[in-house]
């Protein structure tokens, strides 16, 4: 068994502490992150353990977590993300418990982000409903302009209690007035926990729900 020196911070632990500072310093831009990559790679700061940037679900032409975790193909064989609890038809104003289930054999840590937006009609692309975390493993993140809200993991929610699988649960309350169907986009990261954005696998899911 490996023994760590007193007061020594393990690489992955240091990355958890330092990442929040990076998010405060860098704008939410894949271009800026790309320019910062050579500097940040040695510290593993781009694995986003305390939560990804907003608008990283892959919906509506936006990027996924693979913008940073970029050395493996999207939705590679050997893993999956499954989102349960999204109703085929929703009742306006009703709350639904949703779960994101991420699986991959060598998964040690992981994360996710999910968004809900109107897929058509006059409000296409606008926020649809609201999120509510059910425990400390999930948090909310606003878009840069404050008009969208995403549910995503916290640092506490990244560790797989059983190697190979992770799950997060939270509530979605349907919009009181629906102008069209709602599109749910999810991106999840099955991480190898090596304190870098390399060797991780990104999986996506898209589902739709209509108003009753």
pTM of the model: 0.78
Residue 4, in any domain of the structure:
no
pLDDT tens for each residue of 111-157: 999 999 999 999 999 999 999 999 999 999 999 999 999 999 999 99
Q: How far is CA 158 from CA 17, 47, 153, 168, in A?
A: 14, 11, 7, 10
Q: What is the CATH number of the domain that holds 159?
A: 2.60.40.10
Residue 119, in any domain of the structure:
yes
Residue 139: give the domain boundaries: 11-211
> What are the strands of the beta sheet with 79-84, ordered from one edge?
79-84, 95-104, 165-173, 130-133
What Rg do the C-alpha atoms of the chain give, in angstroms? Answer: 17
Residue segments in the chain with a per-residue pLDDT below the cut of 50: 1-47
Phi, psi (deg, nearest 5) at residue 4? -95, 145
């Amino acid at each position: 068994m490996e023994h760590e020196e007193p007061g020594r911070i393990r690489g992955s632990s240091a990355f958890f502490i330092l990442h929040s500072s990076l998010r405060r310093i860098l704008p939410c831009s894949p271009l800026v992150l790309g320019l910062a990559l050579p500097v940040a790679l040695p510290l593993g700061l781009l694995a986003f353990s305390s939560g990804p940037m907003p608008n990283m679900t892959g919906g509506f032409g936006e990027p996924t977590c693979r913008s940073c975790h970029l050395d493996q193909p999207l939705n590679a064989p050997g893993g999956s993300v499954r989102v349960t609890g999204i109703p085929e038809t929703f009742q306006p104003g009703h709350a639904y418990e949703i779960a994101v289930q991420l699986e991959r054999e060598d998964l040690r840590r992981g994360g996710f982000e999910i968004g809900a937006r109107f897929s058509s009609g006059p409000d296409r692309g606008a926020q649809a409903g609201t999120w509510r975390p059910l425990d400390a493993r999930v948090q909310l993140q606003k878009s840069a302009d404050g008009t969208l809200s995403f549910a995503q993991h916290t640092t506490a929610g990244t560790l797989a209690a059983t190697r190979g699988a992770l799950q997060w649960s939270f509530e979605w309350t349907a919009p009181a007035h629906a102008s069209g169907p709602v599109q749910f986009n999810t991106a999840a990261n099955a991480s190898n926990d090596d304190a870098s954005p390399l060797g991780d696998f990104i999986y996506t899911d898209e589902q739709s729900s209509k108003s009753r």
